Structures are given as structure tokens and as C-alpha cells.
Structure 1
Amino acid sequence: MAVNAFERPAWRSKAVPVVLVVVAVLIMAMCTVGAEGPAARVIPVLIGGGAVAAAVWAVRRWRADRAEYERRLTAWAATEAVLAERLRIARDLHDLVSHGLGSITVRVAAARYEPGPDQMRAALDDIESASRETTAELRRMLTVLRDPAAPGPRAPTEGLDALPEIIRTALTAGLRVDLTSGELGEVTPGVQVAICRTVREGLANTARHAGPADVAVRMRRDGSHVVVSVSDSGPVPGWRPTPGAGHGLAGLRERVGSLGGTLTTERVDGGFHLVARIPDEPP
């Protein structure tokens, strides 16, 4: 029996109508109490015997239907788990490939503005380094996907200590980043990953749409929430946007939403403003 991966199986049993019929028949049998004649003696016996047989069949059918329902429910849960895993892998691949190749594309485009051969040589070195890092990470992930027993996680778990490298990569791509962080206190690992992904996606979005622009990254704690914002000054003169497929912000919104947070985006004074508000209450 095919299982719809998007709909939880419903519990139904064919024994229920039979039980209702048996109840109705028993009520009718009770109405014959006090009647006279041969039929009055035979009919209750037949009805009682039939009711017992129907009840035994209904119990067996109920058990069979219950076992079938549990089988379909198990298959549905397994299918949902596979779809969730595919979605997670798709997000990880997007973060890896899109950001890596995106930084390379932006660095190539920004190299057009370099004034001399030394700056051009430095840009080529940056492009080579980014290409090697992206290729190595992609090979590592594909190796683990082919061999589930391979050591290491499928995607690295980023913490706040990864932010300097994220900023360095953005600077390499030509962005002028100003990072300011208030006292965040203790931040849970899941929220740390979301913070890094928010900053990375915000910078990548600026690099694609605004080029080597000024970007302000702000992090602060607001009660039980951590607030992260990425704001740019708008496209630099002569910049031609290189938009992606649009999955980055959608995936980031899902990631933040899975933690109970919200992601908002808006245009402000010609620039792009992204804000993630994530609940975080360390134990």
C-alpha cells in the first residue's frame, strides 16, 4: 500500500460497522423476549450465535486493522525522516557550495576594480584559496554521504568562534565589514550555528547584490532572545547584481523558525536590512 509522505495515515477499521450492526441485531433480539411460538425460541438462539460469531470476527479484524495501521504509520514516519534528512543535506550543500562559489564570483567581479597588478595578484590568490577550501569541504561531505560509517559530521558545527573566519572571507571578497557585538552571555550551540548562518547568508547576500559595499553586523542580547542584524549601504556604483536561486534566505528563515525565532528583511535607505531574532535560554 502506497504511503503519502505528506499526510499522516488515519486510523480506520472495517470492524466498526460490523460491531454497530451486531449491537442493532441484539437490540432487535431483546424485543422478541416474551414472544410465544417455535420462532420465538429459535430466532434468539440464531441471533445470539450470529452475534457471537460476528463479535469474534470483529475482534480479529480490529487487531488486523490495527497492525496494518501501525505498519503504515511506521512507513510514514520513516519516509518523513528521509525527507527531513534530504532537506537538511540540501541546506548544508547550499551553505557550502553557494557561499563558497558565491564568494569566488564576487571576488572575481570585485577584481575589476583593483588598480594595479599587485592587487590583482592578491585577488587571484584569494580566489584560489576559496576554490581549494570549497572543493575540500565538498569532497569531505560527499565522502561521508557515500559512507555513513565515515568519521566526522556531515556538516561542521559552527560556533561563535567561527565568526572571525566568516568576516575574513567577506573582507577577502571586497566587503567592508564592521562587526559589533554586545554581551551575549552563554549561547546554546544550536543558536550559535544559527547566528553564524545568519551572518554568513547576510554577507553573501550583500556581496551578490551590492558588491564591495559597507556592511554593519550587529549582535546583542534582548532578554531571552539573541538579535543578529546585517545591514548594507546598497549597491556600489556600477555594480551588476548576481542574484542566486533564492534558496538562501528561505533556508535561513526555516532554520531560525525551527528554533522558534523570526527572520525579517527590508530595504532601508537603498540598502538591505536583515534581522534574526532567536530565543535562547541556556540551562
Structure 2
Amino acid sequence: METDRPLWRSRTWLTATAGLLGLTAVLATVAPGGERGFILVWGITLVSVLCIVVFTAIRVRAERANFERELAEWATERASQAERLRIAGELHDLVSHGIGLITVRAAAARTVAGDAAVVEHATALADIEKASRETTAELRRMLTVLRQPGAAPLRPADTFADLPAIVATAESAGLTVAFEAAEFGIDPDSTPAAGAVGIELSEVSPGVQLTACAVVREALNNAVRHAGPTAARVGIRREGGAVIVRVADDGPRGEWRAEPGAGRGLEMLRERIASHGGSLEAGRHGHGFRLCAHIPVGHADA
């Protein structure tokens, strides 16, 4: 609820009415009797009514203008807060993914020994260079948009068709990702195409698709950062009036040292899902971690 939204409250008319009734009562008490007194009372009352109406209308108009200014300032502040949250979310996704991928590839390459080390080190360096260039390019794009609105195109919003690409990016960071086709009705050999995950795109709004993809991306990024080159399972299905997204990993292998995070990713994701009227469950699952998001498809997009 928008409890901080300014409310229109004006007691001017109530005050004016009370004042008019009081004036009429006083005049009726002190005025002389007879027809002359009656005319005097009603004459003064009529003039007073006209004056009060004019004064009240001017006062209410000024109050209304002041209220509209407060409402405009409130709306501007709300929009600014929403934009700051959006930018924070994009920066979080961008930095956590790019830096996480670099960390995992460097750590994984360091564990390889023998004849395979030369090839693995070369491949890891190539992956690290690619991730660094992509992260730098995205940061420049975002900074350009912030400095000059409209000067640079925004990245297209993710849809279900982008899920295979999101998974492929996580796999390039060292994860072994599998779709649970039996449970979720997803084709594990799907390619980036409409309907690839077994859900008609026309049945789910773009906002819900974007949020579902954000769940998968955040969960896989967290797995990369906290569990390293481990196994993960991604599932997404339609259940009644909601999209259910589940992502689970097997936890860190060996002596992998988790990369600490700021802890804002899940919080922002939970707020994002709540804006659709949904919920997010996140916690330990066996030796690993699991996210389960319930996103209603009938709720208006935020």
C-alpha cells in the first residue's frame, strides 16, 4: 500500500459553514424585532454568504493547487526510487555475473595440472577476457544511458526464449546445468526459440517472463559464485494460474571457497516477484541451495 501518498484534506467548507451558522444565530439574537429586523438579518446573512462563498472558493483552490504540487513531488520521488532500484538491479546482475564467471574460471583453471593444464589455462584466459570485455561494454552502455537518456539502446528484456542462452552462459562459467524435463515438461535439448521451454509465450505476460528469467539468472549466478563448478537443475512450468520456477544446485565441490556477496540479490528478486503478487522461497537443500518462485500470470505487470 502507498501509505506515504499525500491525501486531499480540506476543512475550509466545514469551517465556513459553521461560521455562517454562528453569524446567523448572533444576528437573529441581537437584531430588532418585526419586519425590519427580519429583513436586516437576512440581508446581512445573504451578503455574508456571498462573501464566504467567494473566500472559501479562493481558499479551496489554493489548497488544491498546493495538494497537486505535493502529489507531483511525491510521484516524482516514487519514480526516482523505482529507477534507482532498477539501476541497482541491473548493476547487481551485471557485476555479479561477470565477476563471478571470471572468479570461477580462474579458480577452476588453477586446479588443473599435467599436460591438460596448458590447454585449460589458455581456454580459461580466453573466457576471462571475453567476460571482462562483455562486462566492460555493458557498464559503458549503462553509464551512457544514465548520462544521456535515450543516447544508447536498452538491452532487450529477457523472455522464455532466452532461457537456453542464460543456461549456456552459466555452463561457460563451469556449471553443469540440466533441465528437469520429466518434472517440469522442458525439452533439455531446446534451442533459443519461442515456446522452447514448453510454455506458449502468448499465455504469459512479458513482465512475468522477465521476472522468471531473472530468477534463473540470479540462481545460476549465485551457484557460480558460492558453489563454483558444480551441478545445477533448472525447471520452469505452468501450474494453474502461475509460473513455477525452481533452480537447485548440489553445493560446492571439494574445497571451493565461496565468493561473498552483498546479499541484495535475493532481496531485490523477492521484491520483484512480490510486485506480481507472487512469492519466493530460498534456502538450503541437501548440500546445496534451492530457489522456488511462484509467479501468478494473471496479476498486472508492475
| TM class, shorter-length | 0.7 to 0.9
User: Aligned to 1:158, what secondary structure does the other structure show?
Assistant: coil
Q: Does 1:87 align with 2:104?
A: no
1-side partners of 2:46 and 2:30: how far apart?
12
Q: Does 1:192 align with 2:209?
A: yes
SS at match of 1:239: coil
Indicate if the aligned counterparts of 1:19 and 1:55 stay in contact, CA closer than 8 A: no
Look up the equivalent residue of 2:199 and give its one-letter code: L
The reply to whether residue 221 of structure 1 matches residue 238 of structure 2 is yes
For residues 128-147 of structure 1, the aligned pairs below 5 Å read 128-147=129-148
Among 4, 24, 38, the alignment partner of 1:7 is: 4
Q: Which moved more, 1:198-207 or 1:47-56?
A: 47-56
Q: Which residue, out of 201, 209, 221, partners 1:204?
A: 221
Q: CA deviation at 1:110?
A: 2.4
In structure 2, distance between residues paired with 1:81 and 1:27? 52
Q: Deviations over 1:105-149 (max 9, x none)?
A: 222222222232211221111111111111111212222222223
Describe how 1:235-250 pairs up with structure 2 within 5 A: 235-250=252-267
Instruction: Work out the CA distance in 1 between the residues paired with 2:35 and 2:172.
Output: 103
Q: Report the Cα offset of residue 230 of structure 1.
A: 0.7
Q: In 2 relative to 1, CA 37–161 (structure 1 residues): closer, same or farther, beyond 3 Å?
A: closer
Unpaired runs of 5+ residues, structure 1, are none
CA contact (8 A) 2:284 2:290 kept: yes
**Secondary structure of 2:180's match?**
strand
Contact 1:32 1:44 (C-alpha < 8 Å) held by counterparts: no
Q: Determine if contact 2:98/2:132 at 8 Å carries over to the other structure.
A: yes
Partner of 2:284: 267
Q: Distance in 1 between matches of 2:99 and 2:264?
A: 15
1:280 equivalent in structure 2: 297
Deviations 1:203-260 (A, max 9, x none): 1111222221111111122122111111111221211111210111111112222222
Shift of 1:48: 4.7
Q: CA deviation at 1:185?
A: 2.8
In the superposition, the TM-score normalised over structure 2's length comes to: 0.81
Per the alignment, residue 127 of structure 2 pairs with 126
Distance 1:194 1:149 in 2: 24
Contact 1:210 1:239 in 2 (8 A): yes
In 2: Cα distance, 1:149 partner to 1:166 partner: 27
Shift of 1:34: 8.0
Letter matched to residue 77 of structure 1: A
Residue identity over aligned pairs, in percent, reads: 45
C-alpha separation between the residues in 2 aligned to 1:6 and 1:145? Answer: 30
Inter-CA distance 23–112: structure 2 relative to 1 (3 Å threshold): farther
CA distance in 1, matches of 2:242, 2:45: 69
TM-score (norm 1): 0.86
Instruction: Give the letter aligned to residue 210 of structure 1.
Output: A
Aligned-partner Cα distance in 2 for 1:152–1:199: 24
Tell me which residue corresponds to 1:26.
24
Contact 2:28 2:41 in 1 (8 A): no
What is the DSSP-based 3-state SS (H/G/I as helix, E as strand, rest coil) of the residue aligned with 1:230?
Answer: strand
What residue identity is the alignment partner of 2:179? L
Q: One-letter code of the match for 2:238?
A: R
CA contact (8 A) 1:13 1:62 kept: yes
**1:272 to partner: Cα distance:** 0.7
Q: Which amino acid aligns with 1:24?
A: G
Question: Contact 2:144 / 2:152 at 8 angstroms: preserved in 1?
Answer: no
| Secondary structure of residue in 2 paired with 1:196 | helix
Asked if 1:163 is matched to 2:180, the reply is no
Distance in 1 separating the partners of 2:11 and 2:295: 48
Q: CA deviation at 1:28?
A: 4.2
